């Protein structure tokens, strides 16, 4: 009998939903007195996982005179969809968090204005977008991978999965939770990883096998990791789509003890490389402040703050990484990738096919 994958979200409505943004920061006008540079407010639109130290934002304000308001609007997929729907009346000056899985959607919709960021020359060329128009700036990289709860598997004397194929094995039935590929960038990245691994002719069959094996689909990363994953809370799923850098996060927030290994592990054979970008929103109320903020995102201060805030890798090669990050993060030697033009040409059709296979 075929198992039905579960979901907490209807894809057809999710793509049309405009999530109400929640704000942190001061509540002044959006850069009314800042057009010439210095002073006023600059508004950053971001996904829910965006974090930055107060002292780093204070340093930006001290250097430029701009204060930063952060508007968080859900998972990256929802934030990008929302920015496309509101492009004639942007809700901020800069958008952070559009990644290589969603980039063509944002660029095709024309939501960004060009800006060649100061410090871009220090970013490795293979990470920079290849269009030459500088509509977005790379800020961080990460690897989307299946994570596992070490204690759960040890208690049952069951080896954790090591490959994509293992995840579809009956030994791991009803253990995996993934994010919705239509609304979540980790969910989409994991889907693209299966396309890269199995090819155009094989990935659909693979997802049918996962659905038969009881994969669970939820809205986004926060719900999957913090609510459904046994390694992070009270969930009953010991396998979750997250990041190769999630293990140091578990150690960092787990108290002062530094164990021999992190409580969560990574199935490195499932990792798909993600690059996150920031872009100046076309029609921004404070474009000068927006340009200054994008430049700051490539500064050493911000780049070295990110690892223990968002648990991602800086794009500046000489940015110093904290010990807990380097000690417990899982190295991924050969992450799965897909060419940007391949993603652009096929993403929507792949997501539609994926939805018909696993979302009921």
Q: Where are the domains of the chain?
A: 11-139+275-321, 143-273+329-358
pTM of the model: 0.79
Q: What whole-number distance in Å separates Cα of residue 217 and Cα of residue 8?
A: 7
**pLDDT (0 to 100) of residue 246:** 93
Decide if pLDDT at 216 tops 50.
yes
Of 70, 110, 89, nearest to 284 by C-alpha is 89
Angstrom CA distances, 109 to 79, 81, 82, 86, 92, stand at 14, 10, 11, 11, 16
**pLDDT (0 to 100) of residue 101:** 86
Q: Is the distance from CB of 226 to CB of 194 less than 8 angstroms?
A: no
Q: Is the distance from CB of 99 to CB of 185 less than 8 angstroms?
A: yes
Region 11-139+275-321: CATH code: 3.40.190.10
More confident residue, 181 or 360: 181
Structure tokens at 330: 């899982």
Decide if pLDDT at 318 tops 90.
yes
* H or E element in which residue 278 lies: strand 264-281
Q: What is the arithmetic mean of pLDDT over 80-100?
A: 95
Decide if pLDDT at 16 tops 50.
no
Decide if pLDDT at 214 tops 80.
yes
Q: Each residue of 36-57: pLDDT tens digit?
A: 445 699 999 999 889 999 999 9
Q: What whole-number distance in Å separates Cα of residue 349 and Cα of residue 355?
A: 10
Mean of per-residue pLDDT scores for the chain: 88
Domains 11-139+275-321 and 143-273+329-358 in one fold:
yes
Percent residues over pLDDT 70 in the chain: 89
* H or E element in which residue 45 lies: strand 41-46
**pLDDT (0 to 100) of residue 38:** 56
Q: Each residue of 244-271: pLDDT tens digit?
A: 999 998 899 887 789 999 999 999 999 9
Q: What is the arithmetic mean of pLDDT over 139-158?
A: 97
Q: Each residue of 330-356: pLDDT tens digit?
A: 889 899 999 888 998 999 999 999 999
Q: What whole-number distance in Å separates Cα of residue 68 and Cα of residue 59?
A: 11
Q: Each residue of 150-184: pLDDT tens digit?
A: 999 999 999 999 999 999 999 999 999 999 999 88
SS3 234: coil
**pLDDT (0 to 100) of residue 360:** 65
Q: Say which CATH class 143-273+329-358 falls into.
A: alpha beta
């Amino acid at each position: 009998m075929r198992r039905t994958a579960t979901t907490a979200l209807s894809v057809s409505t999710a793509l049309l939903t405009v999530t109400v943004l929640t704000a942190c920061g001061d509540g002044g006008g959006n850069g009314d007195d800042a057009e010439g540079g210095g002073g006023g407010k600059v508004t950053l639109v971001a996904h829910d996982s965006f974090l930055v130290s107060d002292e780093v934002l204070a340093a930006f304000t001290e250097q430029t005179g701009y204060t930063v308001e952060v508007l968080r609007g859900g998972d990256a997929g929802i934030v990008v969809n929302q920015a496309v729907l509101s492009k004639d009346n942007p809700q901020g000056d800069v958008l952070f968090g559009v990644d290589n899985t969603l980039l063509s959607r944002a660029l095709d919709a024309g939501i960004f204005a060009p800006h060649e960021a100061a410090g871009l020359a220090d970013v490795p060329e293979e990470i920079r977008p290849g269009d030459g128009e500088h509509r977005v700036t790379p800020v961080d990289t990460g690897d989307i991978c299946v994570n596992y709860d070490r204690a759960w598997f040890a208690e049952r004397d069951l080896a954790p999965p090591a490959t994509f194929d293992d995840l579809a094995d009956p030994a791991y039935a009803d253990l995996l939770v993934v994010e919705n590929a239509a609304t979540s960038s980790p969910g989409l990245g994991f889907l693209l990883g299966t396309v890269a691994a199995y090819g155009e002719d094989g990935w659909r069959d693979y997802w049918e096998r996962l659905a038969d094996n009881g994969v669970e689909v939820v809205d986004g990363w926060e719900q999957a990791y913090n609510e459904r994953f046994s390694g992070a809370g009270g969930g009953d799923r010991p396998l979750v789509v997250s990041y190769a850098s999630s293990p140091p996060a578990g150690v960092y927030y787990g108290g002062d003890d530094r164990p021999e290994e992190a409580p969560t592990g990574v199935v490195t054979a499932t990792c798909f490389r993600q690059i996150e970008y920031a872009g100046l929103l076309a029609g921004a109320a404070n474009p000068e402040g927006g340009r200054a903020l994008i430049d700051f995102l490539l500064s050493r201060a911000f780049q070295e703050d990110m690892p223990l805030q968002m648990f991602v890798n800086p794009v500046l090669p000489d940015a110093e990484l904290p010990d807990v990050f380097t000690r417990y993060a899982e190295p991924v030697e050969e992450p799965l990738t897909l060419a940007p033009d391949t993603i652009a040409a096929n993403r929507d059709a792949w997501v539609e096919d994926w939805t018909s296979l696993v979302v009921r």
